């Protein structure tokens, strides 16, 4: 029998003494009831914390300054993109305005102007831009009105124009679509709330 064959057969008869000692220890551990008993909860908690600490040490989750500023820049860029998209889709677009041309009557034939109407939370914002309408004299003032087709009028504010041609902001509490005619009257400072018959300018969307 060759030396190699004899060595092979000797090794096949069983493990070396050191290996047998380890197998005996493993057999004792596996055969013990304590090995298969359910561990106390605190043991499981300690084990999970140990696993977490190992994972943290291997894969750190603490961001480096470079990563932090990179994420901050990405957040700012995303916010800017939202603003741009919102602007493109009309979130910040100007409100819809209606323009109405008005002209002077026989009392003020040279006067002309334009009325801008915009719906607001408190009603309807109305801006009156006029040219060549003289300032209201002492003891008088101008008053803006909106009228419906049934002959009912609602005041939208008063002004003097004593600073020359200028824009005048008025307000309406009724829908101008229901009161389409716009008048400007000359009123006396006599406390009478009714519209006078001195209409100096007028107009309506349909002309």
pLDDT computed for residue 168 by the predictor:
95
- In the predicted model, residues of the chain with pLDDT beneath 70 are 1-27, 29-94, 207
Q: Which residues of 95-105 are buried (b: 16+ CB within 10 A; e: fewer)?
A: eeeeebebebb
pLDDT computed for residue 21 by the predictor:
65
pLDDT computed for residue 32 by the predictor:
64
**Domain residue limits, the chain:** 3-64, 97-203
Q: What are phi and psi of 25, to 5 degrees?
A: -65, -40
pLDDT computed for residue 206 by the predictor:
79
pLDDT computed for residue 55 by the predictor:
53
Q: Which residues of 6-20 are buried (b: 16+ CB within 10 A; e: fewer)?
A: eeeeeeeeeeeeeee
DSSP letters of 130-161? Answer: EESPPPPPTTEEEEEEEE-TTS-EEEEEEE--
Nearest to 145 by CA among 113, 105, 184: 184
Q: What is the distance between the alpha carbons of residues 176 and 149, in angstroms, rounded to a whole number?
A: 12
Domain 97-203 has CATH 3.20.20.70: no
Dmax (CA) of the chain: 141
pLDDT computed for residue 107 by the predictor:
97
pLDDT computed for residue 85 by the predictor:
46
pLDDT computed for residue 7 by the predictor:
60
Q: What is the distance between the alpha carbons of residues 125 and 116, in angstroms, rounded to a whole number?
A: 8
């Amino acid at each position: 029998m060759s030396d190699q064959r004899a060595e092979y057969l000797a090794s096949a008869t069983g493990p070396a003494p050191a290996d047998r000692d380890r197998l005996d220890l493993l057999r004792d551990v596996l055969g013990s009831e304590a090995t298969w008993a359910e561990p106390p909860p605190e043991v499981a908690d300690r084990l999970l914390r140990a696993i977490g600490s190992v994972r943290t040490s291997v894969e750190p989750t603490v961001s480096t300054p470079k990563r932090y500023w990179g994420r901050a820049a990405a957040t700012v860029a995303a916010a800017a993109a939202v603003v741009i998209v919102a602007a493109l889709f009309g979130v910040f677009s100007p409100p819809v305005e209606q323009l109405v041309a008005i002209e002077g009557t026989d009392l003020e034939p040279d006067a002309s102007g334009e009325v801008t109407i915009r719906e607001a939370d408190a009603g309807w914002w109305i801006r009156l831009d006029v040219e060549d309408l003289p300032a209201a004299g002492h003891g008088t003032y101008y008053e803006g009105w909106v009228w419906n087709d049934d002959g009912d009028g609602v005041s939208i504010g008063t002004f003097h124009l004593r600073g020359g041609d200028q824009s005048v902001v008025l307000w309406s509490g009724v829908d101008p679509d229901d009161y389409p005619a716009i008048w400007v009257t000359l009123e006396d400072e006599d406390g009478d709330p009714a519209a006078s018959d001195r209409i100096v300018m007028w107009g309506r969307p349909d002309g």
